[in-house]
Structure 1
Amino acid sequence: MKIIFMGTPEFSVPSLSRLIDEFEVSAVFTQPDRPKGRGKNLAMSPVKQLATSYNIPVYQPLRLKKNEEMIELIKNIKPDFIVVVAFGQILPKEVLDIPKYGCINLHASLLPKYRGAAPINWCIIDGENKSGNTTMLMDVGLDTGDILLTEEIDLTSDITAGELHDILMNSGGELLIKTINGIVNNEIKKVKQENDVSTYASMLGKDMANINWEHSSVSIHNFIRGLNPWPIAYTHYENMVMKIYKSRVLNEESNKCIGSIIEVSKEGLKVSTGSGVLLIEEIQFPGKKPLKVKDYIVGNKIDEGVVLK
């Protein structure tokens, strides 16, 4: 069983590791090395680091589309499968048609919901109570291929995007193994996606992380969870940016001005929202480390009555 693996970030690594355990991974494709850190030195992707430790050939084309040299190389390998996990490029039809059994993709959502770049984050921002991984047979669309297998998990009301990322990252490899074996043994029935119920999870950015206190306490709490660990939700305390890492919805109402800090205590900051009261438990101010509110207020002052914006 010859596998070509395509992936780039940390999320892809456990999947590649499981494939190496079970099959022959003939080649790995990953994004080009990128400048990293203060020194801007070129750094290998996490996938490249793992592949090189196993002496697996690594290829890093800027684009696969119309790259005849890379496409010819893939054809010469004659893979049974191409497995894609967060590669960062859309595969052209010429590549999709090469493998004997096809190209399969591991996607971190319950398709057809949350197609696109940031399914984990938007699932939490939207307050979903379920998530999971899906394997699909790739086509030329963006996460539109036939569903092969799914693995569903229940979400708690306080799970963060970072925590869900790690759960799905570590379980995805096993789902890929089941999918490959199921295809080879003709045990999987493909299911076409229902496009009319699909949703799209757009890329995140720092410009969308400013909290709107007009929203409900539940909605803001989900927003904070969904943007942790990046880009981190923030608000303005007077003229300073205050990042918010952790919050809790309180069973309280307030008639105070929306966005105002109505109480400061070791429990946190109680803030009035468009509907309900939110307790902010962990914060970060510029130049400082993230701290629980109870630790921050030991040597610093946060005033009640200030309106967050």
Structure 2
Amino acid sequence: MKLVFCGTPEFAVPVLDAVIAAGHEVSLVVTQPDRAAGRGMETHISAVKAAALRHGLPIVQPEKIKNNLEFRAQLESLQPDAILVVAYGRIIPDWMLQLPRFGNINLHGSLLPKYRGAAPIQWAVANGETITGVTTMLLEAGLDTGPMLLAEKRAIAPEETAADLFESLAKVGARLMVKTLAGLACGEIEPVAQDHSQATLAPILTREDGRMDFDRTAQVLVNRWRGFQPWPGAFTNFRGKKLVVHSMKVSDARAVATGEFEVRDGHLLAGCGEGTVLELIEVQLEGKKRMSAADLLNGYQVKSGERLGL
């Protein structure tokens, strides 16, 4: 097929590589504009742009696309068979949806209709799911509401983080997109409408999602920490300063007051909801380097009964 590929982060790169390897013609790569980031505000290109440069593909980086007449004329002149959209980061306007004969095909990081929205991989892990996957679908005007094409399941390991899962699902998704294009080309795939009554949302993450609420159970807090990697992570307050928790696990200890530290046999425990207990393993106090919980105990003389979140 003759394709236009729209994508931005690393998650989209395996799909681009795979469709090229499968023999499809990528006539144009559309990605977000270069951004200044970091302390030095250096200009950074997207992972998809870097991949497109490696393949020697034409690239366009429009700031806006809905009413961009130049961009519209460029796509209309190409007359692609399909437009692939993988974590592009822009809402696709109606004129783009109607342009290619096979439509705009999106790779979504969940088993639709569950986890529609901007952060499906993160919320699946944060909510303690044990199975997730990827879905190819036809885009329409609604948020991830279009008919499904193919899906593939993938188990989530108990220790796996969202960062781990991103890499794995990107590879699964790359294979699935190639399979989807082949099925559409030979007429073997019929789009299937989603059951909208089963839809759940996966909204964009905010910094506050990482704030630890010790009324939640220890397992819920661990799942949220796993889901919110690498950002916003998990944090609370201790002695008036932000305390980031880089590593934690559910403890089988008992009788720790909710929202309080307990020091037992050199272990730093925190009381959580329903009588459950969390063990903090690696932490970082505001303005300090990462350290083991043992170093925090020794360096700051943490005492049992000290409150968290204050």
Same fold (TM over 0.5): yes
Match of 2:5 in 1: 5
**Partners of 2:70 and 2:64 in 1: CA distance:** 11
**CA separation of 1:263 and 1:94: change in aligned 2, threshold 3 A:** same
C-alpha deviation, 1:127, in angstroms: 1.1
Code of the residue aligned with 2:25 in structure 1: it is E
SS at match of 2:73: helix
Mapped contact 1:225–1:246 kept (Cα < 8 A): no
Mapped contact 2:268–2:294 kept (Cα < 8 A): no
* Pairing 1:71-82 to 2, within 5 Å after superposition: 71-82=72-83
Match of 1:48 in 2: 49
Mapped contact 1:250–1:277 kept (Cα < 8 A): yes
C-alpha deviation, 1:295, in angstroms: 5.6
**Partners of 2:284 and 2:78 in 1: CA distance:** 50
* Pairing 1:127-166 to 2, within 5 Å after superposition: 127-166=128-167
Is 1:260–2:276 an aligned residue pair? no
Code of the residue aligned with 1:273 in structure 2: it is C
Match of 2:272 in 1: 273
**Partners of 1:295 and 1:131 in 2: CA distance:** 37
SS at match of 2:273: coil
* Pairing 1:187-266 to 2, within 5 Å after superposition: 187-254=188-255, 256-264=256-264
Segment of structure 1 superposing worse, 78-87 or 11-20: 11-20
* Pairing 1:70-149 to 2, within 5 Å after superposition: 70-149=71-150
C-alpha deviation, 1:39, in angstroms: 1.6
| Deviations 1:213-254 (CA, angstroms, capped at 9, x unpaired) | 011112111111111211111011112211112221223432
SS at match of 1:63: coil
**Partners of 1:42 and 1:198 in 2: CA distance:** 38
Code of the residue aligned with 1:308 in structure 2: it is L
**Partners of 2:90 and 2:169 in 1: CA distance:** 21
Code of the residue aligned with 1:261 in structure 2: it is F
Code of the residue aligned with 1:27 in structure 2: it is L
**Partners of 1:172 and 1:13 in 2: CA distance:** 10
Code of the residue aligned with 2:211 in structure 1: it is N
Segment of structure 1 superposing worse, 37-46 or 100-109: 37-46
SS at match of 1:132: strand
**Partners of 1:294 and 1:153 in 2: CA distance:** 37
SS at match of 1:229: coil
C-alpha deviation, 1:293, in angstroms: 2.5
**Partners of 1:300 and 1:274 in 2: CA distance:** 26
SS at match of 1:177: helix
**CA separation of 1:184 and 1:221: change in aligned 2, threshold 3 A:** same
**CA separation of 1:58 and 1:271: change in aligned 2, threshold 3 A:** same
Mapped contact 1:204–1:231 kept (Cα < 8 A): yes
**Partners of 1:38 and 1:46 in 2: CA distance:** 20
SS at match of 1:50: helix
**Partners of 1:238 and 1:273 in 2: CA distance:** 18
| Deviations 1:184-224 (CA, angstroms, capped at 9, x unpaired) | 11122321111111011111111332111011112111111
Code of the residue aligned with 1:226 in structure 2: it is G
**Partners of 1:173 and 1:101 in 2: CA distance:** 18
C-alpha deviation, 1:28, in angstroms: 0.3
Code of the residue aligned with 1:272 in structure 2: it is G
Give the TM-score normalised by structure 2: 0.94
Code of the residue aligned with 2:205 in structure 1: it is L
**Partners of 1:282 and 1:185 in 2: CA distance:** 53
Residue correspondences, number: 307
Code of the residue aligned with 2:282 in structure 1: it is E
Is 1:14–2:14 an aligned residue pair? yes
**CA separation of 1:298 and 1:2: change in aligned 2, threshold 3 A:** farther
**Partners of 1:6 and 1:229 in 2: CA distance:** 24
Code of the residue aligned with 1:112 in structure 2: it is P
C-alpha deviation, 1:294, in angstroms: 4.2
**Partners of 1:213 and 1:251 in 2: CA distance:** 16
**Can you give the 5+ residue segments of structure 2 that lack an aligned partner in the other structure?**
none
SS at match of 1:69: helix
Match of 1:173 in 2: 174
User: What value does the CA root-mean-square deviation take over the aligned residues?
Assistant: 1.7
**Partners of 1:216 and 1:242 in 2: CA distance:** 19
C-alpha deviation, 1:265, in angstroms: 5.0
**Can you give the 5+ residue segments of structure 1 that lack an aligned partner in the other structure?**
none
| Deviations 1:149-195 (CA, angstroms, capped at 9, x unpaired) | 11111112221111111111222111110110011111223211111
